[in-house]
Amino acid sequence: LNRGLAEFGTTIFAEMSALATTTGAVNLGQGFPDTDGPEEVREAAVRAIRDGRGNQYPPGPGVPELRAAVADHQRRFHGLTWDPDTEVLVTTGATEAIAAALLGLLEPGDEVVALEPYYDSYAACIAMAGGRRVPVTLRPHTGPDGDRFVLDLDELRAAVTDRTRLILLNTPHNPTGTVLTRAELTAIAELAVERDLLVVTDEVYEHLVFDPAGHLPIVALPGMRERTVSISSAGKTFSFTGWKIGWVTAVPALLSAVRAAKQYLTFVSGGPFQYAVAEALRLPDSYFTDLRADLLAKRDLLADGLAKAGFGVFRPQGTYFVTTDVRPLGESDGVAFCRALPERCGVVAIPNAVFYDHRDAGAPFVRFAFCKRTEVLQDAVKRLAAL
């Protein structure tokens, strides 16, 4: 194993899902729904296979039907306009999009400012691209709307140096559930323009937002279109995390850099699934509203249960994760807590510390996923109450 990658070991998701299997615990660790997405979308994939659409290598940038659907979806929900031929790229999940964006845009030694805690593939992909990560820590904060993790804009400004090439954002944010506000995004955008930085923004949870203010893509802000690479995927929005269809939208000069890397990572992405996701992106508004309403009820079920069990709870504005603080339970080390939790009460969770460079800053925080059936969450809440 090359030395740059050795520090990353096995992903926490593999470790914790294996623990769930061996102990028979309720798995609220790895974020994946325990019911599949819409029947008609599954049927569309089957139909594509039967009709021979996408069974052989599809076009490198993605099938035209999906690129058009991505562009139409971005217009419908965010008022953005993209040319499906030159400004949309289909990828193998957001994971490949992140890798291809970093490999395509970074020179060795370039610095990447990223919001810590960060999704685990960011650090590994920055390393693979020869970049250097510069974390800016989101800090727990009690405000009028409850506890949330917030970005300190002065810390962000201080993290930018002459070697900074890009800011890597994620909103709605995994694992904290924070949705960056218009004011925060405006400040980030102003900084990017002032220091001539690129922004790569991971918006896979764009539809899982409970805040009435909703999700704002940073690319919509003044001066950002030319410098933003936006990433999303079908996994979370349509509950098909195994299909691995994602996409990138960016102006042609940036998109072609991402495509240059993508063509040597996977060359193309799963053909028949692309046709099915094209149909999914055209589902009526009610699909997206119902998804959100269902998850909101589940968020509250789990967050209330965790609070009752004695956890400190950060009720998320978005995503399908609740971050908790285990200190009110008399614990201080979230990693040890998560390793012991399946034995103690039959539940698996993820320690947020693994998403930090400053491990101490993340030590007491633990993440629980609520994208599960109501009865599974009720069972988990009962088990947690026995802690």
Residues of this chain that interact with ligand GLN (CB under 6 A) are 11, 13, 30-31, 174
Q: Does 235 bind ligand PMP (CB under 6 A)?
A: yes
Gap between the Cα atoms of 151 and 207, Å rounded: 21
Instruction: Count CB-CB contacts under 10 A for residue 101.
Output: 32
The reply on whether position 174 binds ligand PMP by CB under 6 A is yes
Residue with Cβ nearer ligand GLN (164 or 174): 174
Using the Cα atoms of residue 157, residue 162, residue 166 and residue 168 in order, give the sign of their dihedral: negative
Using rule CB under 6 A, residue 94 touches ligand PMP:
yes
Q: Which is nearer to ligand GLN, 30 or 86 (CB)?
A: 30
Instruction: State the nearest-atom distance from the C-beta of 89 to ligand PMP, in Å.
Output: 14
Count residues near ligand PMP (CB under 6 A). 14
For ligand PMP, the binding residue among 93, 104, 131, 217 (CB under 6 A) is 93
Q: Which does 94 bind (CB under 5 to 8 A by kind): ligand PMP, ligand GLN, none?
A: ligand PMP
217 binds ligand PMP (CB under 6 A): no
CA dihedral defined by 119, 120, 126, 129, rounded to 10 degrees? -120
Q: Please say whether the beta carbons of 326 and 332 come within 8 A.
A: yes
- Measured CA to CA in angstroms, residue 343 lies from 231, 321, 352 at distances of 38, 22, 20
**Shortest distance, CB of residue 252 to ligand GLN, whole angstroms?**
29
Contact 197, 167 (CB under 8 A): yes
Residues of 163-198 as b/e, b for ≥16 C-beta within 10 angstroms? ebbbbbbbbbbbbbbbbbbeebbbbbbbbbbeeebb
Q: Give yes or no for residue 202 binding ligand PMP (CB under 6 A).
A: yes
Bridge partners of residue 248, in order along the sequence: 89, 231
* Pairing outcome for strands 312-314 and 321-325: antiparallel
Residue 101 in contact with ligand PMP, rule: CB under 6 A: no
Q: Please, which residue, 66 or 124, has the CB nearer to ligand GLN?
A: 124
Is residue 124 a contact point for ligand PMP (CB under 6 A)? no
Residue from 27, 74, 95, 164 touching ligand PMP (CB under 6 A): that is: 95
* Binding stretches for ligand PMP (CB under 6 A): 93-95, 119, 170, 174, 202, 204, 233, 235-236, 241, 244, 246
